[in-house]
């Protein structure tokens, strides 16, 4: 999908002589479907992570301003929730004793990013975004549903109770928008982000979504 | 002016009628050109031949030049004139005495394409005479054209003179208007000359954007300076630019620095696709709207593709 969008973007760039949106402010809402790769330190040794892929959904809200006809800068606040991730086999400590079995945990993620968007069109607008910021992850308490013998356990491993962790986030996205009139724009986009956990394993996401944006001249 | 044109047209019509009449069917040979020296002449001879008078001074040779070989049958000297061949296509003529009587000389070319009957006249030394005469064979059309040009020449000259006079008067008027306008501008600048910063932007659904970022207070007038940025794929035709203070149109005039469409004089300008052009709207008696929020409306023919900027334009 990303390749297709990039191709359409390049074709569109070649067909336009003008660019878009200097002085214009834009508020965008972007529901997304997300694939997360959530890592947990359940590999049995320090720093040994196991990654689980889970689907999720989220919503991005962004506010941007056109510095040039081809360049917007702005802030984005995004949130995503993921289905329960399962790590099997996972080796954890429960009551300071090692256990191996299946661990399940649910993660929610929020990100605040500052970024810039190249806007390469007028009525049809290919976009390319890069941004960086901070993120927070809310994790439920992990549960060992059963051990490697198949015995139901139902206990929370040591250091895996519910809590928050924080990330440094980098993100990129390409999209393709259609300007409907002087105010409204709709679009499609696909993006990826990488969250570097501060004392926690990383989180990578791939997302795709539709967007609807409202633009106006704030007359600053 | 009307009298002049009426008279000129009547004369032209009369000349044309005369040229087309049966009497004009037998054209009279006339000189077609004179060189800078009066002693030379060139004659256009119609197909049926022509008659010419050649003025000579006593003792001076006049060369008659033809476009073709001359028949020797004509070369017969009279007692009063010496007439000799001059090359194959020319004749040299000289009057032998002051008492030489007027003599006629019939000349034709060997091919028969040119026939003339020349009257050789001796004139006193204080009268102009000819030293070289060239004869050219002309068609009926050439001759008609010549007669038409000759008939129209005085009127054309009069028209040219009137045109020059009109151009001079127009230039004087333009100079006067420019001087007066510059004078008013100078007086206005002495009274008040201030720039204003605006921040107003708007676009229409066709991706034509208007930016208003500055204005000018000059004397009693205010100038709203705007940029028209056409991001659409079609030309944007500017037909109306109006500044409103509330419901009141306070626009004196507007200009756009875009070439106008010559087919529609009602247009202020045309902004090509992908181009940006500047414009200005003049607000007369700007003191009456100081501090008030102004609205700038720009539209195409018939109010199409309107763009309205209704905030951020305030003269202070």
Q: Does A122 contact B231 at a Cβ distance shorter than 8 Å?
A: yes
Residue B59 belongs to a domain with what CATH number?
2.60.40
Q: What is the pLDDT of residue A21?
A: 79
Least confident of A105-109, B68-72, B277-281: B68-72
* ipTM confidence: 0.72
The model's pLDDT over B222-276, given as tens digits with 9 standing for 90+, comes to 999 999 999 999 999 999 999 999 999 999 999 998 776 666 778 899 999 989 9
Q: B90 with B201, same domain?
A: no
Assign B297 a pLDDT band (cuts: 50, 70, 90): very high
Domain boundary, last residue among B119, B148, B177: B148
What are the residue boundaries of the structural domains of chain A, listed by start?
2-22+29-216
Share of chain A above pLDDT 70, in %: 88
Q: B124 with B237, same domain?
A: no
Residue B62 located in a structural domain: yes
Domain boundary, last residue among B87, B119, B148: B148
Domain count, chain B: 2
Inter-chain Cβ pairs, chain A and chain B, closer than 8 A: 34
User: Which domain, by its residues, includes B130?
Assistant: 27-148
Chain A nearest C-alpha distance from B141 (Å)? 58
| pTM of structure | 0.63
Residue B173 located in a structural domain: no
Q: B260-264, long-range: CB within 8 Å, 24+ apart, which pairs?
A: B261/B237, B264/B237, B264/B301
Are B258 and B271 a contacting pair, CB within 8 Å? yes
Q: B138 with B214, same domain?
A: no
Instruction: Compute the distance between CA of residue B76 and CA of residue B93 in angstroms, rounded to an integer.
Output: 11
Q: Which of B207, B231, B311 sits opposite A219 (nearest CB)?
A: B311
The model's pLDDT over B122-155, given as tens digits with 9 standing for 90+, comes to 998 898 999 999 998 888 888 788 889 989 999 9
Per-range mean pLDDT, top range of A40-44, A206-210, B74-78: A206-210
Q: Which of B204, B205, B231 sits opposite A18 (nearest CB)?
A: B231
Domain boundary, last residue among B148, B178, B201: B148
Q: What is the pLDDT of residue B77?
A: 60
Q: B43 with B123, same domain?
A: yes
Q: B284 with B224, same domain?
A: yes
Residue B254 belongs to a domain with what CATH number?
2.60.40.10
Nearest CA in chain A to B199: A219
CATH of domain A2-22+29-216: 2.40.160.20
Q: B35 with B141, same domain?
A: yes
Q: B134 with B221, same domain?
A: no
Q: B212 with B102, same domain?
A: no
């Amino acid at each position: 999908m990303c390749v297709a969008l990039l191709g359409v973007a390049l074709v569109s760039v070649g067909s336009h002589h003008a660019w878009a949106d200097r002085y214009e402010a834009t508020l965008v809402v972007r529901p997304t479907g997300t694939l997360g790769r959530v890592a947990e330190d359940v590999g049995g040794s320090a720093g040994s992570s196991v990654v689980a892929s889970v689907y999720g959904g989220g919503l991005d809200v962004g506010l941007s301003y056109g510095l040039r006809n081809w360049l917007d800068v702005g802030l984005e606040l995004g949130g995503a929730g993921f289905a329960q991730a399962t790590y099997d086999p996972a080796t954890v400590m429960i009551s300071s004793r090692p256990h191996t079995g299946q661990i399940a945990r649910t993660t929610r993620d929020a990100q605040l990013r500052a970024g810039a968007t190249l806007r390469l069109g007028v009525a049809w607008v290919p976009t390319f975004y890069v941004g960086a910021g901070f993120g927070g992850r809310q994790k439920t308490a992990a549960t060992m549903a059963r051990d490697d013998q198949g015995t139901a356990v139902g206990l929370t491993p040591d250091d895996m109770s519910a809590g928050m962790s924080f990330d440094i986030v980098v993100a990129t996205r390409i999209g393709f928008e259609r300007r409907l009139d002087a105010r409204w724009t709709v679009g499609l986009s696909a993006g990826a982000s990488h969250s570097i956990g501060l004392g926690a394993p990383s989180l990578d996401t791939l997302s795709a979504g539709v967007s609807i944006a409202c633009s106006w001249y704030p007359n600053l | 002016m009307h009298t002049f044109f009426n008279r000129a047209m009547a004369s032209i019509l009369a000349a044309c009628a005369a040229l087309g009449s049966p009497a004009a069917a037998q054209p009279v040979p006339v000189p077609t050109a004179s060189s800078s020296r009066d002693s030379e002449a060139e004659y256009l001879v119609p197909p049926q031949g022509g008659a010419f008078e050649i003025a000579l001074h006593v003792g001076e040779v006049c060369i008659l030049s033809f476009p073709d070989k001359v028949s020797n049958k004509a070369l017969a000297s009279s007692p009063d004139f010496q007439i000799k061949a001059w090359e194959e296509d020319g004749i040299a003529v000289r009057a032998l005495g002051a008492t030489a009587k007027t003599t006629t000389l019939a000349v034709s070319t060997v091919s028969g394409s040119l026939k003339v009957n020349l009257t050789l006249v001796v004139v006193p030394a204080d009268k102009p005479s000819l030293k070289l005469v060239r004869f050219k064979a002309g068609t009926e059309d050439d001759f008609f054209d010549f007669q038409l040009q000759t008939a129209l020449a005085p009127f054309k000259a009069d028209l040219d003179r009137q045109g020059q006079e009109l151009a001079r008067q127009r230039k004087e008027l333009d100079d006067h208007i420019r001087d007066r306008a510059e004078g008013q501008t100078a007086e206005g600048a002495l009274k008040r000359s201030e720039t204003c910063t605006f921040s107003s932007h708007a676009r229409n659904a066709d991706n034509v954007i208007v930016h208003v970022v500055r204005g000018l207070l000059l004397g009693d007038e205010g100038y709203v300076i705007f940029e028209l940025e056409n991001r659409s794929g079609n030309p944007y035709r500017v037909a109306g630019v109006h500044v409103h203070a509330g419901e009141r149109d306070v626009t004196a005039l507007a200009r756009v620095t875009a070439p106008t469409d010559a087919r529609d004089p009602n247009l202020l300008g045309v902004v090509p696709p992908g181009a940006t052009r500047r414009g200005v709207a003049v607000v007369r008696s700007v003191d009456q709207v100081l501090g008030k929020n102004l609205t700038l409306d720009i539209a195409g023919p018939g109010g199409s593709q309107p763009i309205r900027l209704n905030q951020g334009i305030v003269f202070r």
